[in-house]
Structure 1
């Protein structure tokens, strides 16, 4: 049987094994029918991401993503027409200053469905239409009030660190943020800015010393509907944690690189979030087997505790927890460092994708390192 007599479904299954971008373009020229099948594959592409800077790989398509090698050009193709459902674009650093960037400039200005950008660099005031953008990962070294409307952005990931004053300005201008990922400096020890009532996911890294003079928790108190948080390099004194202010909506909490956080401080932190379902505490030298039973009593709804990289947590904690669950009729999973980690345990991830599908903290963020957190989550 001639391949041209195959049903469209079979032809699509065959062409779906071809992933090279230029290769698919060549196949699309075989006939109008082949063009339609290739365009169907292109229509499923939602994300444009960059291949490593020094890679020699050519552009290709995989799992709904167009992987772009910045050393190659797409000048001869109209990406807006080829990829009508493109939603998030990672922008090469040279895009704003190089003539090679024409397609990216036109793509962002003309494509009606692009909602997210990764890598927005200075200058952006000249010739770019960003009125449809809702998600941004950027250094923000530009006057964002000249570029975006108030309330426009729903997700922001900062490359540069902010202090509380700068953070207050961002929040006042973008009160509808649902996810915020940023490094914070300790310049101002208390937060007096506006509330961020829409925020669901907060990811914060404390980037300057001394950690003990800084607390993220006053800012978290201004996020009453926060559901998930990832805190990196959290130390903090007891006085900086006001456990009288509760957040009953927080379900997921990761505290990573919490090396010198005492059990007393940790206890006060947990008291702020009585409805936690999932807790990860990593690289803490003070929590040990004796604290596990108290921990689960503090958190009556806890379902999962991840204490990997806490050197003093051992099999004894798992035994204590098993007896406690049997006595209290609860089901709680615990992960800890052991010689033979069971295959069914989720792995802690050191490398991750910059774009993830679904606004799901547990799936895309909980088990990752700080540097592996996704830049943007596609809702």
Structure 2
């Protein structure tokens, strides 16, 4: 019995399990029948992802994903993926390749997401305007790259920066449709003294301020002009927690405070300001205060009394929280009409590579971001 005697339904399932686009192309050259099967496989693809290691492949499931080997140029595959929505560019392109790539990208209106950290700010590409790009991860930028945001500022809904961008407030002001911002290493003060226009559409903000040393580190001025902010992930290292919003934020429902230090013997965090902050977010439903030295059982009472609508409290990685807190939790449960889920114990921080995923399906903070450590947050969340 030859493989071609199998029904197409079985062969289609077999082709769906071919994970690398180079292998699908090779199979398409076997015969006309296999060419047809390969075309069906490629027609399903929405996401073209660079494979840095074998572990990357295990993270994704479904026929919408396909991988290319990182030593190849992803733009060469765009023409055979008619329904491509997100492209992950791993290999740096030379000037000629980049021009070809961006010209092709301009004509592909279905492509909504671009992870491309190697953009060169010179040459004919300056005339481009990518009206259709909604998700952009430009990586490490500097003053010479500011025009790249102008290419797609009208439509951008998600921005994922690897490093601090000195004109981040200018970018936010230009991108009127922003729903999510992630700054992986924030070292500047532009958000601390934000004077841009209100960000009326921003729902998710993820910010690492561990590299920014300032005795009065806060971003309340920016938060105050984000009336629809629903979810905040803040990674910090200062033991004196100074992020206290100046006004009440009723839209904020999900909050992650992740403490990070390079010290092997971290100093206990000073607890005083955190309850004050929690009182500014009266509708908070899901709260994580992770890996905070000095967070003790007695502080659970402060948290639960400050957050009357809390449903989930994640205290994993807080070494001073122990089983003695169970009695207090039970007492609080008895005084409420509903149960609060409380997570304690160890917290794994094992990134598979720099980011766990390029894309997660579903614009859902709780599903794709809340439970992850900082280095595992995906580049993009789709609205699929």
Same structural fold, with TM-score higher than 0.5 when normalized by the shorter chain: yes
Decide whether aligned partners of structure 1 residues 229 and 214 sit closer, same or farther in structure 2, where only a CA change above 3 A counts.
same
Q: Name 1:336's counterpart in structure 2.
A: 344
Q: Name 1:250's counterpart in structure 2.
A: 252
Q: Name 2:264's counterpart in structure 1.
A: none
Q: Name 1:152's counterpart in structure 2.
A: 155
Of stretches 361-370 and 117-126 in structure 1, the one that deviates more from structure 2 is 117-126
Are residue 116 (structure 1) and residue 116 (structure 2) matched? no
CA distance in 2, matches of 1:227, 1:71: 39
Task: Decide whether the 8 Å contact of 1:248 with 1:274 is kept in 2.
Answer: yes
Q: Which runs of 5+ in 2 are unaligned?
A: 261-266
Match of 2:362 among 348, 352, 358: 358
Q: Name 1:344's counterpart in structure 2.
A: none
Q: Which runs of 5+ in 1 are unaligned?
A: 342-346
CA distance in 1, matches of 2:222, 2:149: 26
Q: Name 1:212's counterpart in structure 2.
A: 215
Decide whether aligned partners of structure 1 residues 240 and 276 sit closer, same or farther in structure 2, where only a CA change above 3 A counts.
closer
* Correspondence 1:1-379 to 2 at 5 A: 3-52=3-52, 63=62, 64-72=64-72, 79-97=77-95, 104-105=101-102, 107-128=104-125, 129=128, 130-138=130-138, 139-141=140-142, 142-144=145-147, 147-162=150-165, 166-182=167-183, 183-185=185-187, 187=189, 189-233=192-236, 235=238, 241-242=244-245, 245-257=247-259, 261-337=269-345, 350-351=351-352, 352-379=356-383
How many residue pairs were aligned? 362
- Structure 2 length-normalised TM: 0.83
For residue 301 of structure 1, report the CA deviation from its aligned partner.
Answer: 1.3
Of stretches 264-273 and 84-93 in structure 1, the one that deviates more from structure 2 is 84-93
Task: Decide whether the 8 Å contact of 1:211 with 1:236 is kept in 2.
Answer: no
CA distance in 2, matches of 1:237, 1:215: 11
- Structure 1 length-normalised TM: 0.84
- Measured against aligned partners, the alpha-carbon deviations of 1:302-335 in whole angstroms (never above 9, x if no partner) come to 1111111212111122332123213322211111
For residue 90 of structure 1, report the CA deviation from its aligned partner.
Answer: 1.5
